[in-house]
Chains A and B, each alone.
Chain A
Amino acid sequence: AQTVTQSQPEMSVQEAETVTLSCTYDTSESNYYLFWYKQPPSRQMILVIRQEAYKQQNATENRFSVNFQKAAKSFSLKISDSQLGDTAMYFCAFMKPPNLIPLVFGKGTRLSVIA
């Protein structure tokens, strides 16, 4: 069974600074998908960024980027120029095709951006 580990329960960062959230996973599969989801306080969970395992290039979405190291089974999220609106719970998630297999989530990292 796949497992996802987020080793940082809580983190904080100053506004405009850069922060990196860690995620490791365990799988014997070669083809899979990785996701970072964001859950702002009292708001809906939304997708931040996704990475396909067979793509070597790290995914980037505006201020959000990942450092995907397949051999190390590591998938960290970097947030540049942190903003107050980035304050949220962040969940790392793993999915193995086919789609009948649901997402496996980590336990989450609570990020606070401080003015």
Chain B
Amino acid sequence: DVKVTQSSRYLVKRTGEKVFLECVQDMDHENMFWYRQDPGLGLRLIYFSYDVKMKEKGDIPEGYSVSREKKERFSLILESASTNQTSMYLCASTKEAAYNQPQHFGDGTRLSIL
């Protein structure tokens, strides 16, 4: 089974801090995604990557950056955390050209910015 592991289930940080959310997948998937999930808004795509060192902006990239130095790891970075970035963050991965295959999700990181 594909395993997508997010480094923290719960995280509390302070306004202005630089925050790193880590995601690792163990199935050699090319594509990795970061979503933000908020009540009433569903899942919104922040960034995605289809190869090492490649990144593409999603729908809401402002205030975020990403890093993909290795194929299995996709990091989401909050450059200067703000309270409006308090949310659930979901990482997902999928195989290249497997558009009829499901995305595999991690358990999520519930991030609180105080």
Contact = CB atoms under 8 A, between A and B. Distances in A.
B45 A99 contact: no
A30 interface: no
A52 B100 CA distance: 8
Interface centre among B43, B50, B92, B98 (most CB of A within 10 A): B43
Given A44-B107, A102-B33, A91 B99 contact: no
Contacts, number: 53
B59 to A, nearest CB: 9
B16 to A, nearest CB: 29
Interface string B35-79: 100001111110010100000101000000000000000000000
A50 B42 contact: no
B100 A50 contact: yes
A27 B78 CA distance: 33
A52 B90 CA distance: 25
Given A91-B43, A105-B42, A106-B42, A44 B105 contact: yes
A107 B90 contact: no
Contact of A33 (B92, B96, B100): B100
Contact of B43 (A33, A98, A105): A105
A33 B106 CA distance: 22
Contact of A107 (B42, B58, B106): B42
A107 B40 contact: yes
A47 B104 CA distance: 8
Nearest to B42: A107
Nearest to A48: B102
B106 A44 contact: yes
Contact of B99 (A37, A99, A108): A99
20 contacts: A33-B100, A43-B107, A44-B105, A44-B106, A44-B107, A47-B103, A91-B42, A95-B99, A97-B99, A99-B31, A99-B50, A99-B96, A99-B97, A100-B31, A102-B58, A103-B45, A103-B103, A105-B43, A107-B40, A107-B42
Interface of A: 6, 9, 33, 35, 37, 43-47, 50, 52, 91, 95, 97-100, 102-103, 105-108
